[in-house]
């Protein structure tokens, strides 16, 4: 659907490899890390939400952060972007220490984020939402804002860039509408486009696909792959394993606040720790089959090879509770 804007994303996207040094294990060193976090710990009362010993995010690649609900993914996001303060720990972005740096400065350094619950600015127009994303605006300073000639030309340039981005995200027809009139999926697109207005180095997307229909998912995927092509680094949280497998170059798995596994998406998903903590044994099998409501034959799932139907039935009960819980939270 949006293949015209993303020509390189035909069948399979080009994966970036050779990102790490040595054995792929939690905390493995990267060849060129953009974020390095050490001993970052955040507790809420008695609960340790995040406890990461060492983590490096590779530059110029798409890294997925996965894990069960409550694993601390969003908390880690908030910590890395300055929206929350850890109990202890240090982390750097592009070589600059970020501990104690407020969120707006982190954003100015070129590390922008989106939110799990989309934050479109409802009573601003779509175009104003976009223009707000541009940094270093003269007209945003109090005194110079009073004198229009000082900022008018820059504002026109920003508007031009905003319209280009909106056209790319197929929102240009909506430019003059209030953002509140957009659908949920369009708001996700707007939020991503708005983040790009600042020409960031690192884009952090918190569940970009949640609540987005399949067709729009496809176009979002293209946009994320485009970011990499344009030299940006992407870190995203996602539950959709197909998407993770399809576009991620590197996967970090969290559970109970800790990084339990890291690696290439296909390798890491075979890791028994990941299967136990998050995926479950039947990630490729129809949910109806897993829960025992539909037989594998009915669901049209090929169960030949490693897993037979009996095994599925036997393990179904164990899976049921976890699956239902996950579904409910989504």
User: Given the complex with another protein, which of 151 and 250 has the nearer CB atom?
Assistant: 151
CA distance 173 to 182: 11
User: Given the complex with another protein, which of 210 and 294 has the nearer CB atom?
Assistant: 210
Q: Taking a C-beta distance cutoff of 8 angstroms, is the pair 56, 29 a contact?
A: yes
Structure-token match 């008018």, residue found? 152
CB of 188 to another protein, least distance (A): 13
* Dihedral pair phi/psi, residue 221, rounded to 5°: -55, -45
Residues forming the site for another protein (CB under 8 A): 81, 83, 102-105, 107-108, 112-115, 119-124, 128-129, 131-133, 135, 137-142, 145-146, 148, 151, 155, 178, 180-181, 191, 194-195, 197-198
User: Given the complex with another protein, which of 132 and 275 has the nearer CB atom?
Assistant: 132
CB of 197 to another protein, least distance (A): 8
∠94-100-104 over CA atoms, to 5°?
70
Rounded to the nearest 10 degrees, the angle between the axes of helix 184-196 and helix 214-229 is 10
Nearest CA among 260, 269, 253, 199 for reference residue 227: 199
User: Given the complex with another protein, which of 123 and 310 has the nearer CB atom?
Assistant: 123
- The residues pairing with 88 across neighbouring beta strands, listed in sequence order, are 41
CB of 102 to another protein, least distance (A): 8
Structure-token match 């799990």, residue found? 116
User: Given the complex with another protein, which of 201 and 295 has the nearer CB atom?
Assistant: 201
User: Given the complex with another protein, which of 176 and 304 has the nearer CB atom?
Assistant: 176
CB of 113 to another protein, least distance (A): 5
CB of 47 to another protein, least distance (A): 22
- Pairing outcome for strands 202-206 and 111-113: parallel
For residue 295, give the 3-state DSSP assignment.
coil
CB of 179 to another protein, least distance (A): 8
């Amino acid at each position: 659907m949006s293949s015209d804007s993303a020509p390189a994303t035909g069948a399979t996207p080009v994966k970036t490899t050779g990102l790490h040094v040595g054995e792929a294990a939690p905390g493995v060193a990267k060849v060129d890390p953009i974020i390095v976090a050490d001993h970052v710990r955040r507790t809420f009362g008695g609960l340790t939400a995040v406890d990461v010993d060492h983590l490096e995010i590779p530059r110029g690649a798409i890294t997925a952060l996965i894990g069960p609900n409550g694993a601390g993914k969003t908390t880690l996001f908030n910590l890395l972007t300055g929206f929350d303060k850890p109990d202890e720990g240090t982390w750097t972005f592009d070589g600059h220490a970020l501990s104690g740096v407020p969120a707006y400065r982190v954003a100015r350094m070129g590390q922008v984020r989106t939110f799990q619950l989309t934050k479109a600015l409802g009573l601003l127009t779509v175009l104003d939402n976009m223009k707000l994303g541009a940094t270093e605006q003269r007209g945003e300073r109090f005194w110079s804002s009073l004198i229009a000639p000082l900022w008018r030309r820059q504002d026109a340039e920003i508007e031009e860039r905003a319209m280009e981005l909106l056209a790319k995200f197929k929102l240009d027809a909506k430019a003059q509408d209030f953002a509140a009139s957009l659908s949920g999926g369009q708001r996700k697109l707007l939020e991503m486009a708005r983040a790009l207005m600042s020409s960031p180095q690192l884009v952090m997307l918190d569940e970009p696909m949640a609540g987005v229909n399949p067709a729009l998912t496809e176009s979002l995927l293209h946009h994320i792959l485009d970011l990499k092509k344009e030299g940006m680094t992407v870190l995203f949280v996602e539950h959709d394993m197909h998407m993770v497998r399809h576009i991620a170059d590197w996967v970090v798995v969290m559970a109970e606040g800790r990084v339990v596994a890291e690696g290439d998406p296909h390798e890491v998903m075979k890791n028994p720790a990941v299967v136990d903590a998050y995926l479950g044994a039947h990630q490729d099998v129809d949910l109806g089959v897993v829960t025992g409501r539909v037989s594998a034959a009915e669901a049209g799932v090929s169960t030949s090879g490693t897993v037979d139907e009996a095994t599925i039935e036997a393990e179904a009960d164990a899976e049921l509770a976890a699956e239902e819980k996950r579904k409910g939270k989504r």
